[in-house]
Amino acid sequence: MNKQAINLKHKLSMINDHWKPRVIAEMNDYQFKLVKVKGEFVWHNHPDTDETFIVIEGSLDIEFREGKVTLEKGEMYVVPNGVEHKPVAHKECQLMVIEPKGVVNTGDKDSELTAQNDVWI
Amino acid sequence: MNKQAINLKHKLSMINDHWKPRVIAEMNDYQFKLVKVKGEFVWHNHPDTDETFIVIEGSLDIEFREGKVTLEKGEMYVVPNGVEHKPVAHKECQLMVIEPKGVVNTGDKDSELTAQNDVWI
């Protein structure tokens, strides 16, 4: 059994791109992912699952068709399944995303921002 | 739909006891819990689920029957299901715990440290 702590800052230091989530841990059939984001993502939703965002550094807007939520460092939010949302980071933001294994970052939308799934660091 | 960010430090400031997890969010059938811990917990395991620990402040040892892992602030670890473990905090430690709804803190063991479940802040 692996007995190594997973250091979030160390793992984030390995990421040099935007919108490409890396898996760092699994719990049952859920995955913990780290991702750096900057700019506007695409409108999408995840019909079958909620999705959790935790801001490690920076600030993230999650826009909805009506209204938005702004997450600062040390804040989290769970986007309910089926709710259309668009993450927007005005400056680079470092995130942890938690969701079931197999969930694609752009949900129901194909996009040039659709990232390869299940990439570990 | 609730559009409020959940601030971890603010929620933790509402907790004034040890080993009593408070729920702050749900994702599908999983819960995010905050808890302050100090001292030695009881040996236990969760036969049916993995359990995730993320250290927000302080330091936590998770002892196993063979060896241990030490988590510092900003580090996480997933204890596999069925693995006996005993959390130990030499000084007060502030934790986020993520696990399926309904999981009891002392797992398979009844103890004076067994906490009421599903208490929200």
Mean pLDDT to the nearest integer, B33-56: 97
Q: Does A26 contact B78 at a Cβ distance shorter than 8 Å?
A: yes
Residues in A closer than 8 angstroms to B100, CB to CB, are 28
Quote the pLDDT of residue A27.
98
What average pLDDT score do residues B25-37 get?
98
What are the distances in angstroms from CA B9 to CA A52, A84, A102, B56? 17, 28, 31, 9
d(CA B23, CA B32): 6
Residues of A in contact with B75 (CB under 8 A): 5-8
ipTM above 0.95 for this complex: yes
Cα–Cα distance measured from residue A93 to residue A119, given in angstroms and rounded to the nearest whole number: 20
Q: Does the pLDDT at position B18 exceed 90?
A: yes
User: Is A9 in CB contact (< 8 Å) with chain B?
Assistant: yes
Average pLDDT over residues A1-20: 97
Q: What's CA B39's distance to the chain center, in Å?
A: 14
Q: Is the dihedral of CA A106, A108, A111, A114 positive or negative?
A: positive
DSSP per-residue codes, B32-95: EEEEEEEEE---B--TT--EEEEEEESEEEEEESS-EEEEETTEEEEEPTT--EEEEEEEEEEE
Across the interface, whether the CB atoms of A100 and B28 are under 8 A apart is answered: yes
Which H or E run contains A98? strand A85-100
If contacts are CB pairs under 8 Å, which of residues 56-75 in chain A contact chain B? 64, 67-72, 74-75
Mean pLDDT computed over B89-116 = 95
Cβ of A3 within 8 Å of Cβ of B69? The answer is yes
* Nearest CA among B52, B86, B58, B85 for reference residue B71: B58
Which band of pLDDT confidence, cut at 50, 70 and 90, is reported for residue B1? confident
Per-residue model confidence (pLDDT) at position A1: 87
Q: How far apart are CA A99 and CA A86, in angstroms?
A: 16
The pLDDT tens digits for A32-74 are: 999 999 999 999 999 999 999 999 999 999 999 999 999 999 9
Q: What is the pLDDT of residues A84-94, one digit of tens each?
A: 999 999 999 99
Round to whole Å and give the CA distance between B120 and B47. 25
User: Is A32 in Cβ contact with B76 (below 8 Å)?
Assistant: yes
Taking an 8 Å cut-off on Cβ atoms, the answer to whether B8 and A75 are in contact is yes
